[in-house]
Structure 1
Amino acid sequence: MEEQFILRVPPSVAERIERLMNESAAASSSSNPEDSSLDLSFSEDGRSGTFMIGNERFPASLLDLPTVVESYKTYDDSVLIKTADIGQMIMVREEHDPPPEGVEYKHGLTPPMRDARRRRFRREPDLNAELVHRVEKDLINIMQGVSINQNASVTGAGQGGDRKKAALAAAKANVQQQPAANGEEERSDSDESVDP
């Protein structure tokens, strides 16, 4: 596959580039060479740079497209051969135009893909970092064979849970069973002991 990129330029620059491409090589070499020179250079960040045509300089930015664009080539107008996947675009703008916000271009290349990121794709969910951490911990415990309830009691035991259990058992032992009015012990509905 070939290396390709999309170069988006203002209409005035597009006319000059088209005129340069339509001229024959002999005609362009005999004319002013400075007018026919094209240059593109980027700064150290790799996202912003300068596009030069002749003696004019235009600011340029490398932007990520919201979708991948496939590029095809044909030799006989019936068979298409895929030549590249394009995911970035170099956007040249006029000096007074504001720079694009961020590194991702929010529109596609064609009118139906206008505002593609918002209209065509699902919103990224707002995740609570604490919730994600807790769910991750629970999943690890489940994979290790520890149920979540066992884990909670184990966690409670490490934080003074043994003292609480001992105090609760002592309180139950100190409570004396009061005899019922007929002289028998009171029983609950869940008490399945049988009288002899």
Structure 2
Amino acid sequence: MAEGAGGGAGEELFVLRVADEALADKLHRVLREEATVHGHVELTFQDNNLDGVLSVEGVSYPVKLLNLPTVVEAYKTYDEINMVKINDIGQVLLVGPPGSSLPDGPEAADGVTPPMRNARQRHFKPVPKVDPGEVAAVERDLLALLSGFAPAGMRITDVEEEFVVDAHSGAGSWQRVGAGGAAPAGGGGGGAGGGGGGGRGKKDKDKEDK
């Protein structure tokens, strides 16, 4: 039992995973009231609250508290028809055979069901190791950009562009305004006038021949 935020008592649930087959079978029979435990069952933890010992009938089994890769929902039924959610489970108590060594914690590699085997490595990417100095530098640059200033060692240049469509191919592209090589808007009219002047010169020459 654990004290809730409002001062009331609340349940704290764990998944009990027993690697010792003989102990697992005995606990199953005890829960089904098909067997009894001679003596007492005691679970104690060290100061780190992660490593412990489960004592059953005078035999000590190592225990490790691990964090599950995902949260597991726990349900209860009173009539075997309707299910009521009672809590979320995020940790597993791993019980090993006597004298065995358990995996290092606090993160469990596997989930509860077979599809979640080695789920932490397959589904969750490790947190990238980034230099805190680089993170602080990027934050300063972002704040400078949001404030309208250029980051250190950089310069902001305003470039005005317009979308120009080629008259022959029909293809369009963004071009910088005022860039060299672009004909002025009135250039085409001057060319047409020049062509007209050439036509008038041809007519005057025909009159002189007559």
Counterpart among 15, 19, 37 of residue 6 in structure 1: 15
Do 1:108 and 1:115's aligned partners in 2 also have CA atoms closer than 8 Å?
yes
Aligned runs of 1:110-189 on 2, under 5 Å? 110-148=113-151, 151-152=152-153
Give the TM-score of the pair, scaled to structure 1: 0.65
C-alpha distance in structure 1 between counterparts of 2:94 and 2:88, whole Å: 18
Residue 167 (structure 1) aligns with: none
Do 2:111 and 2:118's aligned partners in 1 also have CA atoms closer than 8 Å?
yes
1:87 is aligned to 2:90: yes
Whichever structure has more strand as a proportion of its residues is: 2
Which structure's CA Rg is the greater one? 2
Do 1:20 and 1:36's aligned partners in 2 also have CA atoms closer than 8 Å?
no
Q: What is the CA distance between 1:122 and its match in structure 2?
A: 3.3
Residue 111 (structure 2) aligns with: 108
Q: What is the CA distance between 1:98 and its match in structure 2?
A: 2.1
Q: What is the CA distance between 1:36 and its match in structure 2?
A: 4.3
C-alpha distance in structure 2 between counterparts of 1:125 and 1:38, whole Å: 43
Q: What is the CA distance between 1:105 and its match in structure 2?
A: 0.6
Runs of 4+ in 1 over 3 A off after TM superposition: none
C-alpha distance in structure 2 between counterparts of 1:20 and 1:36, whole Å: 13
C-alpha distance in structure 1 between counterparts of 2:61 and 2:24, whole Å: 12
Give the stretch that moved more between structures: 36-45 or 94-103.
Answer: 94-103
Q: What is the CA distance between 1:95 and its match in structure 2?
A: 2.6
Q: What is the CA distance between 1:109 and its match in structure 2?
A: 0.8
Give the TM-score of the pair, scaled to structure 2: 0.61
Letter paired with 1:40: L
1:98 is aligned to 2:108: no
Root-mean-square deviation over aligned CA pairs: 2.5
1:57 is aligned to 2:66: no
C-alpha distance in structure 2 between counterparts of 1:82 and 1:21, whole Å: 21
Whichever structure has more helix as a proportion of its residues is: 1
Q: What is the CA distance between 1:75 and its match in structure 2?
A: 1.8
- Deviation sequence 1:126-171 (CA, Å, 0-9, x none): 43433322101112223444332xx448xxxxxxxxxxxxxxxxxx
- Deviation sequence 1:49-95 (CA, Å, 0-9, x none): 11011111111010000010000111222221101100001111113
C-alpha distance in structure 2 between counterparts of 1:22 and 1:111, whole Å: 25
Residue 32 (structure 2) aligns with: 22
Unaligned runs of 5+ in 1: 154-188, 190-196
Residue 161 (structure 1) aligns with: none
